[in-house]
């Protein structure tokens, strides 16, 4: 078996800016939110968020229903061990205007994942955020989502048949065996993309931004952070063992399921864009295989890839 702690290739699903260049909010949008100043593009994420003074504006992806729901939730969530950017209402009273929503700017920066990683602190911030969301009803619009990430999520939870591109089939089988059957833990509203969306500032609680709603057990959302660290940031068995110490051995199958989520998302994108044989898909396959080997190395089993029990 290859060394499971070897360097991590870069995966396929890393976020990045729109190569055609982002749209910027016009004067009517700024006026609607009572903002003055010149919009300045913010780094990171999808590359389409802009800062104007003490506010951040972000496109609502053409879904005003989810934008209104998100504004209601984030206006009411009680900060306890984390910070959020509170939403701003437009002059109309709505949480969005002309395809844009706005929040207060929160100070902080993404950690240096290579030099000073803070993975377990990010997990803890997510855990605190999810405690604050407990009891929020499931939004109906989640059922209508059909983007690549929604497809990947349903495949990971065995709610949809996988249609994995050939280059990713072997790591998919490895990770699916490690994930086993879906757990019976109760679902709730969670942030499904904490990696890169928890910011740190001296003397302040971590800030949770860019809420991506999913309806899953909180441990799954936490496992996505750990899985992303394995895939994209070179983390190894040390992080997995620390995560097990924090959350118990039952956390490992959640990490495997989180990796299936990322893999199935990559596969859906590759299939739609005709990238079945692209070099980045092959590189992504190596990343997922490495992550599976890392999980196998810490799993309490003589066989790192046993068939899931009944």
Residue 43, exposed/middle/buried by CB under 10 A (0-12, 13-18, 19+)? exposed
Sign of the alpha-carbon dihedral angle for 46, 255, 217, 158: positive
> Where are any strands of DSSP class E within 96-238?
96-97, 100-104, 188-191, 198-199, 207-208, 213-216
Residue 57 has pLDDT above 80, yes or no: yes
Chain region(s) in the chain for CATH 3.30.200: 27-104
pLDDT in tens, 4-48: 444 444 333 333 334 344 589 999 999 999 999 999 998 866 678
Share of the chain above pLDDT 70, in %: 87
Supply the mean pLDDT for the chain. 89
Q: What is the pLDDT of residue 283?
A: 87
* Cα gap 298→192, rounded to integer Å: 24
- pLDDT for 8: 44
Tell me the per-residue pLDDT of 190-233, one tens digit each, with 9 for 90 and over.
Answer: 999 999 999 999 999 999 999 999 999 999 999 999 999 999 99
Q: Tokens for 39?
A: 């919009």
Cα–Cα distance measured from residue 70 to residue 212, given in angstroms and rounded to the nearest whole number: 9
- The DSSP symbol for 23 reads -
What are residue 10's phi and psi, to 5 degrees?
Answer: -75, 135
Res 308 pLDDT > 70: no
Decide: residue 273, CB within 10 A, 0-12 exposed, 13-18 middle, 19+ buried: exposed
Check residue 133 and give its pLDDT: 98
The CATH 3.90.1200.10 portion of the chain extends over 119-298
What is the average pLDDT across 130-141? 97
- How far apart are the two ends of the chain, measured CA to CA in Å? 27
Q: What is the rounded average pLDDT of the residues 138-159?
A: 96
pLDDT of residue 166: 93
| Pairwise CA distance, residues 121 & 153, whole Å | 24
CA distance 12 to 24: 27
* Model pLDDT, residue 310: 35
CATH says 119-298 is which class? Answer: alpha beta
What does the chain come to in residues? 310
CATH code for the domain defined by 27-104: 3.30.200
Q: How confident is the model at residue 61 (pLDDT cuts 50, 70, 90)?
A: confident
pLDDT score recorded for residue 100: 95
pLDDT tens digits for range 240-281: 999 999 999 999 999 999 999 999 999 999 999 887 667 788
81-134: pLDDT as tens digits: 999 999 999 999 999 999 999 999 999 999 999 899 999 999 999 999 999 999
Q: Give the per-residue pLDDT at 301.
A: 58
pLDDT for residue 2: 34
pLDDT value for 7: 42
């Amino acid at each position: 078996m290859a060394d499971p702690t070897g360097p991590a290739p870069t995966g396929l699903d890393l976020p990045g800016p729109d190569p055609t260049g982002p749209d910027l909010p016009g004067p009517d949008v700024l006026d609607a939110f009572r903002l003055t100043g010149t919009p300045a593009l913010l780094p990171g994420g999808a590359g389409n968020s802009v800062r104007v003074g003490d506010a951040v504006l972000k496109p609502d992806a053409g879904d005003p229903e989810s934008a209104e729901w998100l504004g209601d939730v984030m206006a009411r969530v009680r900060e306890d061990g984390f910070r959020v950017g509170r939403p701003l209402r437009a002059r109309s009273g709505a949480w969005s205007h002309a395809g844009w929503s706005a929040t207060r700017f929160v100070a902080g920066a993404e950690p240096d994942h290579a030099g000073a990683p803070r993975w377990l602190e990010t997990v803890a911030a997510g855990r605190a955020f999810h405690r604050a969301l407990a009891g929020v009803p499931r939004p109906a619009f989640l059922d209508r989502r059909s983007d690549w990430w929604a497809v990947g999520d349903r495949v990971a939870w065995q709610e949809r048949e996988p249609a994995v591109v050939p280059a990713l089939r072997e790591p998919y089988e490895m990770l699916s065996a490690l994930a086993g059957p879906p757990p019976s833990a109760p679902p709730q509203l969670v942030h499904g993309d904490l990696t890169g969306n928890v910011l740190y500032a001296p003397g302040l609680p971590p800030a949770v931004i860019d809420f991506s709603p999913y309806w899953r057990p909180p441990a799954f959302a936490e496992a996505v952070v750990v899985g992303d660290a394995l895939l994209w940031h070179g983390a190894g068995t040390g992080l997995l063992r620390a995560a097990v110490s924090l959350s118990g051995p039952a956390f490992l199958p959640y990490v495997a399921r989180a990796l299936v989520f990322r893999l199935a998302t990559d596969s859906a994108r590759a299939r739609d864009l005709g990238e079945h044989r692209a070099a980045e898909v092959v590189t992504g396959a190596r990343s997922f295989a490495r992550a599976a080997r890392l999980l196998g190395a810490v799993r309490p089993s003589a066989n790192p890839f046993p068939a899931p029990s009944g």
